[in-house]
């Protein structure tokens, strides 16, 4: 569903395995973690929904939840616990702190899936907004499709904003970033970005847009590599 990634964060391997199976049956992408130590912040363009168990070392109360939401930036968070380990006051505090829902661990998997589906219908606009933001793996190129803006910078945190890209150049850059280190053919870009009009557009049109995009990106344009006979690939290797 719109490339949404579900992350189940719980040291309880039994409940994590049951919920993972239930979510995967829906065709959803799921990752399981025992705690937050191995989880990186959600990347731009890859919205995540976290199911978090109360009692983790970094997740014991509502204040911890606030910090998780800031540092890990999931699009949504559903909190769960044993019925005997969560008081009404704790549940209320977690919901006030930003949790989108609270469930007990003994909840039937079918009910859990139904609740998640209902929740996703409500937050779909937020998911689509999140999908409109892309970034290179090192964060030096950032695209905000809703603002039609590109930020170029370095690890020092200094960025310049580029506002002169055409819509098609912005679409191509976003597409390449979302397939970083993957070869994408001209045909796939035509089909994805031109849609039904692609039958009336020549592959050379993609080349012209890429050429203009590289020029506008300056030194960063060199990261769009031509893979002769195949297409193009964005990579941050061999930086200029």
User: pLDDT-derived band of residue 227, with 50, 70 and 90 as boundaries?
Assistant: very high
Statement: residue 43 has pLDDT above 60: no
- Residue that finishes a domain, picked among 106, 131, 156: 131
Q: Is-above-0.85 flag for pTM?
A: no
* Top-confidence residue, 43 or 75: 75
- For residues 161-176, average pLDDT: 89
Q: Which two tokens stand for residue 10?
A: 């719980």
User: pLDDT-derived band of residue 157, with 50, 70 and 90 as boundaries?
Assistant: low
Within-domain flag for 17? yes
User: pLDDT-derived band of residue 148, with 50, 70 and 90 as boundaries?
Assistant: confident
User: pLDDT-derived band of residue 240, with 50, 70 and 90 as boundaries?
Assistant: very low
Q: Can you give the CATH number for the domain in which 154 is found?
A: 1.10.10.10
- For residues 21-48, average pLDDT: 82
Statement: residue 57 has pLDDT above 60: yes
Statement: residue 39 has pLDDT above 90: no
Q: Give the bridge partners for 59, in sequence order.
A: 56
Within-domain flag for 239? no
Taking all residues of the chain, what is their mean pLDDT, rounded to a whole number? 86
**How many distinct structural domains can be found in the chain?**
2
Tell me which residue range forms the domain holding 199.
Answer: 134-234
Lowest mean pLDDT among 39-43, 96-100, 167-171, 184-188: 39-43
In this predicted structure, what is the pLDDT of residue 239? 46
- Residue that finishes a domain, picked among 101, 131, 161: 131
Selection from 188, 189, 172, 187 nearest residue 224 by Cα: 172
Lowest mean pLDDT among 71-85, 163-177, 190-204, 211-225: 190-204
Selection from 53, 69, 49 nearest residue 6 by Cα: 49
Within-domain flag for 126? yes
Q: Can you give the CATH number for the domain in which 53 is found?
A: 3.40.50.2300
> Does 15 share its domain with 74?
yes
Sheet strands (E) in the chain: 5-9, 29-33, 48-53, 76-81, 101-104, 133-135, 141-144, 149-153, 159-162, 224-227, 231-234
Statement: residue 121 has pLDDT above 90: no
> Does 9 share its domain with 121?
yes
Lowest mean pLDDT among 77-91, 106-120, 189-203, 204-218: 189-203
């Amino acid at each position: 569903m719109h490339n949404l990634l579900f992350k189940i964060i719980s040291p309880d391997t039994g409940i994590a395995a049951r919920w993972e199976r239930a979510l995967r049956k829906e065709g959803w992408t799921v990752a399981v973690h025992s705690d937050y130590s191995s989880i990186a912040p959600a990347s731009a363009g890859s919205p995540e929904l976290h199911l978090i168990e109360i009692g983790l070392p970094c997740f014991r109360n509502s204040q911890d939840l606030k910090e998780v939401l800031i540092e890990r930036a999931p699009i949504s968070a559903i909190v769960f616990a044993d019925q005997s380990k969560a008081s009404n006051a704790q549940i209320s505090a977690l919901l006030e702190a930003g949790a989108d829902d609270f469930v007990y661990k003994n909840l039937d998997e079918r009910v859990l899936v139904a609740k998640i589906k209902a929740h996703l219908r409500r937050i779909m606009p937020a998911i689509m907004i999140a999908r409109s933001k892309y970034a290179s793996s090192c964060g030096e190129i950032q695209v905000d499709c809703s603002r039609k803006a590109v930020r170029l910078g370095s690890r020092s945190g200094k960025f310049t904003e580029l506002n002169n890209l055409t819509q098609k150049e912005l679409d191509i850059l976003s597409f390449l970033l979302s397939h970083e280190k993957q070869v994408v053919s001209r045909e796939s870009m035509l089909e994805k970005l031109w849609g039904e009009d692609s039958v009336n557009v020549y592959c050379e049109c993609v080349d012209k847009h890429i050429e203009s995009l590289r020029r506008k990106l300056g030194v960063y344009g060199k990261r769009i590599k031509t893979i002769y006979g195949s297409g193009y690939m964005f990579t941050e290797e061999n930086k200029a």
